[in-house]
Amino acid sequence: MSTQNTAPAAEATQSSPVRRVQQHRTYLMCRPEHFTVSYTINPWMEPANPTDTDRAVQQWQTLYDTYLALGHDVHLIDPIEGLPDMVYTANGGFIIDGVAYGAKFRFQERVPEGPAFMEWFGGNGFDVVDPVQVNEGEGDFLLVGETILAGTGFRSTGDSHRELGEVFGKEVVSLNLVDPRFYHLDTAISVLDPVEGPDGVDRANIAYLPGAFDEEGRRILAERYPDAIRVSDEDGAVFGLNSSSDGLNVLISPRAKGFEAQLRERGYNPILIDLSELLLGGGGIKCCTLELRGASQ
């Protein structure tokens, strides 16, 4: 594949930060009223370690309040008892232009979440596509400009990437995840600017953790996103990349110090949100956030 980045448009140099513009977002979240760690489906989860549900709710509330304070819309889906991972709404589906491609979870423990989320989408004005293939929604699928980056290796299958391309008619770029700690794509890539710039200048940009990908994945990412922020292993290991950006404000873990500095250098406004309790389940800021693109209300 040949690189298309030969145009003299490298506007995002570290020495002259571009002016970042906030975009409005609509999100779906789920209050972690039933949060606990009672099974292990990723290396972060240890049922023997106690969890504090009240603390999880408090930390989650800070994230929710921050989105509202920034002017975003946040919808809520009711938590269901016995589905402790439902707080990680990013896995509930993938939505573009009012079309919701539902999730089909890999592990039995989360399978009932798929229909629960689809029911919510259907009841809230979205066109729901019931998936045939195993996929974990926006945990593994990230919209960057007109392209969908899709992760596989641990959860969503390669076949789901094909199905995703058919549903949305967009280019889907498959990336292999190789480190079990970074089992969803949104633990290894953060979409900083999802929108293409004017005049063919590709301003869509990401941050990523190179070590989470195989060699081919690293090659693809380097070629497509030469201006990407590459995050250190240290920041990756504290889920620094599991963050959410509105084009200006980037909500990140307070422990990702290096990433915080990199964001500032590029003209973003990092906002620190501590979700340490939810990290016990292997999730962070982005996992608790599902973008509803094209919501009617």
Active-site positions?
A: 184, 287
**Residues in 12-41 at the binding interface with ligand ARG, rule: CB under 6 A:** 41
Query: Binding segment for ligand ARG among 59-67, 179-187, 189-197, 219-227 (CB under 6 A)?
Result: 179-187
Phi, psi of 28 (to 5 degrees): -120, 130
Report the residue number, 42 or 244, with the smaller CB distance to ligand ARG.
42
What would the two tokens of residue 247 be?
Answer: 């084009």
Question: Is residue 188 involved in binding ligand ARG (CB under 6 A)?
Answer: no
Report the residue number, 106 or 257, with the smaller CB distance to ligand ARG.
106
Query: Binding segment for ligand ARG among 21-29, 162-170, 206-214, 277-285 (CB under 6 A)?
Result: 277-285
CB 181 within 8 A of CB 233: no
Rounded to a whole number of angstroms, the minimum distance from the CB of residue 174 to ligand ARG is 18
User: d(Cα 279, Cα 275) in Å, to the nearest integer?
Assistant: 6
Report the residue number, 179 or 227, with the smaller CB distance to ligand ARG.
179
Rounded to a whole number of angstroms, the minimum distance from the CB of residue 275 to ligand ARG is 11
User: d(Cα 214, Cα 212) in Å, to the nearest integer?
Assistant: 7
**Residues in 102-141 at the binding interface with ligand ARG, rule: CB under 6 A:** 110, 139
User: d(Cα 186, Cα 91) in Å, to the nearest integer?
Assistant: 10
**C-alpha separations of 152 from 142, 214, 256 in Å:** 12, 11, 25
Rounded to a whole number of angstroms, the minimum distance from the CB of residue 89 to ligand ARG is 8
Number of residues that bind ligand ARG (CB under 6 A): 16
**Residue 190: how many other CB atoms lie within 10 Å:** 28
Report the residue number, 79 or 281, with the smaller CB distance to ligand ARG.
281
Query: Binding segment for ligand ARG among 194-202, 208-216, 256-264, 282-290 (CB under 6 A)?
Result: 282-290
Instruction: Give the SS3 label for residue 21.
Output: coil
User: d(Cα 262, Cα 95) in Å, to the nearest integer?
Assistant: 29
Pick from 32, 42, 114, 121: which binds ligand ARG (CB under 6 A)? 42
Question: Is residue 282 involved in binding ligand ARG (CB under 6 A)?
Answer: yes
CB 53 within 8 A of CB 33: yes
Query: Binding segment for ligand ARG among 75-83, 219-227, 247-255, 275-283 (CB under 6 A)?
Result: 275-283
What would the two tokens of residue 59 be?
Answer: 């930390």
| Residue 250 DSSP one-character state | E
The neighbouring-strand residues paired with 247 are none
∠ CA(201), CA(202), CA(204), 5° rounding?
A: 145
User: d(Cα 104, Cα 37) in Å, to the nearest integer?
Assistant: 21
User: d(Cα 99, Cα 127) in Å, to the nearest integer?
Assistant: 5
Question: Is residue 291 involved in binding ligand ARG (CB under 6 A)?
Answer: no
Question: Is residue 186 involved in binding ligand ARG (CB under 6 A)?
Answer: yes
**Residues in 46-105 at the binding interface with ligand ARG, rule: CB under 6 A:** 85, 88, 90-91
User: d(Cα 73, Cα 207) in Å, to the nearest integer?
Assistant: 24
Pick from 72, 184, 224, 266: which binds ligand ARG (CB under 6 A)? 184
∠ CA(287), CA(67), CA(40), 5° rounding?
A: 20
Rounded to a whole number of angstroms, the minimum distance from the CB of residue 282 to ligand ARG is 4
**Residues in 219-248 at the binding interface with ligand ARG, rule: CB under 6 A:** none
Residues that bind ligand ARG (CB under 6 A): 41-42, 45, 85, 88, 90-91, 110, 139, 184, 186-187, 281-283, 287
